[in-house]
Chain A
Amino acid sequence: MMIRLNCQSRVWALFCLALVFSLPGAYSQENIFGGLDPDFDLKDVPDKWKNESAVILCQKTTCLFDKSYAPGYGNSITQKEVTRKRIKLLDRAAVEEYSEFYFVATKDLGVRIIKPDGSIEVIDLKDAVPVARNVSIPGVYKSASGWEKEYKKLAIAGLEPNDIIDYFNIIKHTYYMTTGEYVFPEVILSLENSFPAVKQKYEFNVDQELYFNFRSLNGAPEMEGGLAAEEGLKFYSFTDTSREKLKDERWSYIYRSTPTIKFQVVYRADPRVPTEYLLGKAGELKTSVSKEEIALKANELIFAKNKSIDKLSKMILKYLSSHKELASGSDIAKASYYLYRNVKFTNGVNNFGNDDRLFVACLARVFDKKKIAYQVMSAVPRQIGTLESLVLKDELIWFLKLSESGTFLCAPSINANFGDVFSGIEGAEAYQVGVSKSKELLSADKILIPVSTMEQNGESDKIEVGLNPEMDYITVSHVKTVRGHSRESFESAIIYGDSRSAPERYNFQVSPDMSGMYEQKRKRMERFKSYVAEDFDLLKYEDFTLLKSGRYEDEPNIEYSEKYKIKGLLKKAGSNYIFHAGRLIGTQVEIGEGEMKRSYEVYSDCPRSFYNEVSVIIPDGYIVKGIEKLTMKVSTEAGSFSSEAWMDGKILKFRTSKIYFHNFERNKDWGKMVQFLDAAYDFTEARILLKRTE
């Protein structure tokens, strides 16, 4: 499991694997405030942050991973994290935020208030009360792993603007090792917090018998130290200063655009036993992963011994042997892919950790048997990082490439098709590991995963509109086609609820329980009805028909039709009507005034295009005026919006296209996106006049 968080929500994530005992540490009552820590001498807010709600003067996290051995108990690891924060609260909003203080119930805590005159008030913790289960814990206090369930909260007495809240908490667990490997959760965190920080410091004391992976990126400070400290520990630290706060910007990947660190600590009893983790040497900081290591991991993956792989690959092979018509490599690969998808969403087969690893191992075994040449691929999703910054096992996604056709095979989602590439790795570099027939690795090369085209992804809508004689509502007949990665947001609506009733061409004869089909159809219709209701004043939703589920490679698009009546697009103007025609293309992205300034790079899944073809039958007795308002054209280097409108007899026709050219734009080019997005928005505001002629 990977933990991705930013500093302000950072509560140490603790886990225990099935065979590892976790015991809470003693209630330690360490007097963190008593020590004179020069890092916490800061009291003043820099002028540039005087108008902020609050400023972190200093925050410091000290992590200890200490292995020990005791007769009768064996090996154990004590994990301890001490977090201290000193935050200057500058306004009432900040006071409100900190006046109800939450903390993990079993952990040590100290809270004190430093008044502007320098006097110190220590908060009495005995008044802390348990937090009820029906209350959601504010993100700033929440345990990242979700493992910690019991929280307490405290009403902080006497807090006022310009006070400094100074608090620490200590989380300490001792884990008794009963397995050969124990893995502390991976952590990725942004150094930008919800408040700006004058100084933040991270310290690690890691036992020299443990494995420690760490990487800083995007301008985060490099780790320093590595010198042997007391009792077999090594000490590392870094200090970050004058860090601006995290910005809330749409289409941003914060681990790509903000200073970020990632780390993980692993215990291994025997370094000779293969591990799926990307480890260096015990006692040494590992900050990168070589292609040779990836090649080794690929090798270990495809020859892994595991019952799920055995069972699933045998099922597929059995199916293939009873379907002799599946003779070509391509046919076999397709059948294997869809059979995997079928069993994944009908029975559930995953007890091999990540689904991508099971998928690769299982299909590799089938391909080996069927003598289909393939390569093992691995990449880091763009949302997290790059191969260059790779340092943690779960950053990687594994997939396959068929050598002959070059087709990539990624672990399928419920609606994915043979050859669909996970959008998150498009445009990313990947390692390609060749496997010889003698099961020996050939090489690990870097290749670039191609980015799909704007035409491959997106939506096309055909909309036929009729106006009722009383001109108080319109009837809409709508056919939507969804292409490529854009299908992903429709998947859960198409196969609603019970995946067992999803249509399949290849299956294991698992007899799905079809009793829920009617219910599923009803709920699906309700769901699509709700989509229309989000965009329009819906009078009546009359029909939904799924024309194509998009679940086969020869019919890869989702296609459905619907009919409905909506109100609100016709407005009376004396004896004439104003028709809000632009609205028919649906709600468009609305870039608010506050969004014009952009700090982070602009990321999205893929290039994509959205087309609308609209026909409106104009009732007798009316002519259209102002049709030119439906014609627009804006094109920039980032994308385009264009529309054209014309009369075809009594039918008003217009078509629009909105295209995102890329899956990435520099922040300096944000304005180029805003231009065409604004044009699309403006189009939705375009109106025409239906002028009465009689």
Chain B
Amino acid sequence: MSKHLLFAWLFTSIGFSVFSQKALTDKVNVWELRSAWPEAATAATSSTVNITFSRSVVSDDSTHLYVTQKIHEELICLDNSGGAFVNAVGYDDNSEIKSFNLYDEEGKLNNYQALTSRQTYEENGIFYSDAKIFAYSFPLEKIGARSSYELEKKFNDVKYVTSFYFHENYPTLEKTISFSIPSWMQVELRELNFKGYEISRGIKTDTQTGNKVYSYTLKNIPADKSEPYQPGPTYVLPHILILSKAYTDKQGEEHKLFNSTADLYGWYSSLVKTTGNDRNVLKPLVDKLLTGRESDKDKIETLFYWVQDNIRYIAFEDGIAGFRPASCQKVFSNRYGDCKGMANLLKEMLLLAGYDARLTWLGTKHIAYNYAIPTIAVDNHMICTVILGGRKYFLDPTETYISFGDLAHRIQGREVIIEDGDKFIVERTPDFPKERNKIETHNQIRLQGEQLIGRRKEFYNGEAKTQILRGYNSTKSERKEEALRDFIIGKDKNISIQNMHFSNMEDRSSVLQFDYDFTLKNHVLDVGSEIYVTIDHEQEFKNSELDSTRLKDYVYNYKYYLVKKTELEIPAGYRVTHMPDDMLQVYPDFTFKITFRQDGNKIFYRKEISVDNAVIGKNEFKDWNNTIKELKYIYDDQIELSK
């Protein structure tokens, strides 16, 4: 035994059962599994997840509720790559991994072959959190090799037990998730995304504990394949949401947990009350910023933009800090904060300025739930709402370079709860139409030999505008001009631009504009008697055909709306002998319109493309792909000018 493995064995052996498991003697046809799941290196032939609610009395008036999750999984190797099975389970300050045991095919304890480790884990965009992973791996090297393992995780606080999923990143022949719920515990098991899956349900009573055991079984579960631009898992994968509503202690007294949204808000609100804000620290700044500002809009805008520009988004989600905002004075002094800290600072600044500003909780579009479901899984973001003249303005200071009145796509149309003392207001953020993100380009071009030369104007709004401003202003000074050129012409060596003018790159309220002269090579073919011209060299969406075998909807980052107008001057002595076809494809979620018109010595090309709701559903893939094929056909066609 190597030293490495010895340590692993010592580590994983602590606190483990010494009993053997039953041998894996059930007949599994590995070749059938390989044929069903050819890309999988490993499959689970059986997987059970048992969740049990328990309580322990801490004192006469305090009860500790906890939940144990026991996983037992039997695995089989499906290829000869000589690899290992590698997996990980997440935990945090409110949960712990109690044990891990590996068993061989005979059912004998085999922990010396397992490598386990506990590691901190950083989620994208979170500077620091209490999230950790328990990683485990063991050899599964030859086709047909089998092993099983048990893992026990304990949740020390019931409100952090939110949901359980069937899918793993490897296929599973059969998986059962069961919940053992004592009579003193009120839990609602909310079944989500079950439609389309044959999930069998069972209820029985555990004769030993008297607990009701609710079980859900799903067979032949493919690996959850990560697909680019996929919706969040809460939209697509079948799962069970745990709504812990109340419990009764041993004295028979009932205690509410999250029975309703009011309970959820009550907890959030209790945390906000302990923030310890000292807004007076901000007063000199607010006074200074608002000097000479007259209108409400001007004042609110000034404070909103100051937080955007001067407070960096750095998120600490360490334990309760994941739910309680940092104090306004701390965020101000640090010049950084997470969404809660930034929202709280902005709220306090607005209050100092005399406005009715309030903290606001919401889930971004990544989460499918709304506030009808009382769980902490419903939201992941905080903004600030200012109520002015009876109207609510939603301000998200984490979105740099967004203008007052605008909202990032990710928080549009979302249900929010706005603080209102001991009560709360449920609202919905506005859902802006595609026009908010309009990109418009105007080209006036003519031929010069085999080059196209002309002048171009570009107008950007909404999401595209904020992205450009953000990118430009975060680029190193000496690279800014080059970065702007790169943005405009991309990596296309065929274009060169001159005489570029652009609008104020700090101004987030106006339309962002560029205009410049350009020369375009290699898009004209002159064969003497005829000239062939590619009028649209950018050919947006040309390569946007979607994989028809894709399993999930395709989710764009935001609603897209492009209008492109080009005027091509026909050279003297030439006539138009061919123009590509027009195109008109209008569907509920997307539109493609292209027209070519000749008027006098000019050809007028107009293109309009929109992805109206930022999602192309699976059921729309066929129409979408046919549309893209037609688009490519038009893009590939040329204007023919003949002498």
Known: A99-B312, A578-B532, A689-B530. A519 touches B80 (CB 8 A): yes
Partner of B522, one of A96, A576, A594, A685: A685
Interface check B280, CB cutoff 8 A: no
Chain B residue contacts of A133, Cβ below 8 A: 119-121
B80 touches A626 (CB 8 A): no
A51 touches B478 (CB 8 A): yes
- In the complex, the chain B residue whose C-beta lies closest to that of A575 is B578
Min CB distance, A589 to chain B, in Å? 10
A52 touches B336 (CB 8 A): no
Interface check B127, CB cutoff 8 A: yes
In the bound complex, how far is the Cα of B194 from the Cα of A193, in angstroms? Answer: 57
Chain A residue contacts of B479, Cβ below 8 A: 53
In the bound complex, how far is the Cα of B336 from the Cα of A135, in angstroms? Answer: 20
B477 touches A592 (CB 8 A): no
- In the complex, the chain A residue whose C-beta lies closest to that of B135 is A133
Min CB distance, A101 to chain B, in Å? 11
Min CB distance, B482 to chain A, in Å? 5
B578 touches A135 (CB 8 A): no
Interface check A570, CB cutoff 8 A: yes
- Which residues of A (356-394) have their CB < 8 Å from a CB of B? none
Chain A residue contacts of B120, Cβ below 8 A: 130-133
In the bound complex, how far is the Cα of B485 from the Cα of A367, in angstroms? Answer: 61
A155 touches B640 (CB 8 A): no
B527 touches A689 (CB 8 A): yes
Interface check A687, CB cutoff 8 A: yes
- Which residues of B (471-485) have their CB < 8 Å from a CB of A? 473-479, 482, 485
Interface check A134, CB cutoff 8 A: yes
**B-binding segment of A17-25, A156-164, A331-339, A403-411:** A156-164
Interface check A563, CB cutoff 8 A: no
A516 touches B493 (CB 8 A): no
Partner of A157, one of B333, B530, B578, B638: B333
B491 touches A573 (CB 8 A): no
Known: A96-B312, A519-B80. A155 touches B494 (CB 8 A): no
In the bound complex, how far is the Cα of B642 from the Cα of A625, in angstroms? Answer: 14
Chain B residue contacts of A100, Cβ below 8 A: 127, 314
- In the complex, the chain A residue whose C-beta lies closest to that of B526 is A626
Chain A residue contacts of B577, Cβ below 8 A: 574
In the bound complex, how far is the Cα of B336 from the Cα of A158, in angstroms? Answer: 8
Interface check B334, CB cutoff 8 A: yes
Partner of B636, one of A572, A575, A594: A572
Interface check A539, CB cutoff 8 A: no
A53 touches B478 (CB 8 A): yes
- Chain A 137-180 interface 0/1 with B at a Cβ cutoff of 8 Å (1 = within): 00000000000000001010111100000000000000000000
- Interface of A, secondary structure class, is mixed
- In the complex, the chain A residue whose C-beta lies closest to that of B473 is A92
Interface check A648, CB cutoff 8 A: no
In the bound complex, how far is the Cα of B640 from the Cα of A626, in angstroms? Answer: 15
- Which residues of B (121-167) have their CB < 8 Å from a CB of A? 121-122, 127-128
B119 touches A134 (CB 8 A): yes
The size class of the interface chain A forms with chain B is 35 or more
Chain A residue contacts of B485, Cβ below 8 A: 593
- In the complex, the chain B residue whose C-beta lies closest to that of A627 is B527
A129 touches B335 (CB 8 A): no
Min CB distance, B115 to chain A, in Å? 14
Interface check A93, CB cutoff 8 A: yes
Partner of A689, one of B121, B127, B335, B525: B525
- In the complex, the chain A residue whose C-beta lies closest to that of B534 is A571
Interface check A641, CB cutoff 8 A: no
B521 touches A685 (CB 8 A): yes
Min CB distance, A677 to chain B, in Å? 11
Interface check B81, CB cutoff 8 A: yes
Chain B residue contacts of A130, Cβ below 8 A: 120
Interface check A108, CB cutoff 8 A: no
- Chain B 501-530 interface 0/1 with A at a Cβ cutoff of 8 Å (1 = within): 000000000000000000001100111101
A573 touches B640 (CB 8 A): yes
Chain A residue contacts of B314, Cβ below 8 A: 99-100, 155
Chain A residue contacts of B608, Cβ below 8 A: none
- In the complex, the chain B residue whose C-beta lies closest to that of A624 is B527
In the bound complex, how far is the Cα of B637 from the Cα of A158, in angstroms? Answer: 57
Chain A residue contacts of B334, Cβ below 8 A: 155, 157-158
- Chain A 574-592 interface 0/1 with B at a Cβ cutoff of 8 Å (1 = within): 1110100000000000111
- Chain A 104-129 interface 0/1 with B at a Cβ cutoff of 8 Å (1 = within): 00000000000000000000000001
Chain B residue contacts of A537, Cβ below 8 A: 543
Chain A residue contacts of B316, Cβ below 8 A: 129, 155
Min CB distance, A681 to chain B, in Å? 6
B478 touches A157 (CB 8 A): no
Known: A625-B527, A685-B521. A573 touches B532 (CB 8 A): yes
Chain A residue contacts of B526, Cβ below 8 A: 626
In the bound complex, how far is the Cα of B450 from the Cα of A686, in angstroms? Answer: 11
Chain B residue contacts of A51, Cβ below 8 A: 477-478
In the bound complex, how far is the Cα of B640 from the Cα of A595, in angstroms? Answer: 36
Interface check A488, CB cutoff 8 A: no
- Chain B 235-276 interface 0/1 with A at a Cβ cutoff of 8 Å (1 = within): 000000000000000000000000000000000000000000
In the bound complex, how far is the Cα of B525 from the Cα of A572, in angstroms? Answer: 13
Interface check A94, CB cutoff 8 A: yes
Chain A residue contacts of B482, Cβ below 8 A: 594
Interface check B633, CB cutoff 8 A: yes
Min CB distance, B184 to chain A, in Å? 38
In the bound complex, how far is the Cα of B119 from the Cα of A571, in angstroms? Answer: 54
Partner of B122, one of A94, A132, A570: A132
Interchain residue pairs with CB less than 8 A apart (11): A52-B478, A92-B474, A93-B476, A95-B312, A99-B312, A131-B122, A157-B334, A572-B580, A572-B633, A575-B578, A682-B522
Binding site for B on A (CB under 8 A): 51-53, 90-96, 99-100, 129-135, 153, 155, 157-160, 515-516, 519, 537, 570-576, 578, 590-594, 625-626, 629, 681-682, 685-689, 691
Q: A95-B312, A571-B637 are in contact. List 5 more A-B contacts (CB 8 A).
A: A92-B474, A129-B127, A573-B578, A574-B578, A592-B491
Query: 5 tightest CB-CB pairs across the interface, nearest first?
Result: A574-B578, A53-B476, A685-B522, A132-B122, A573-B638
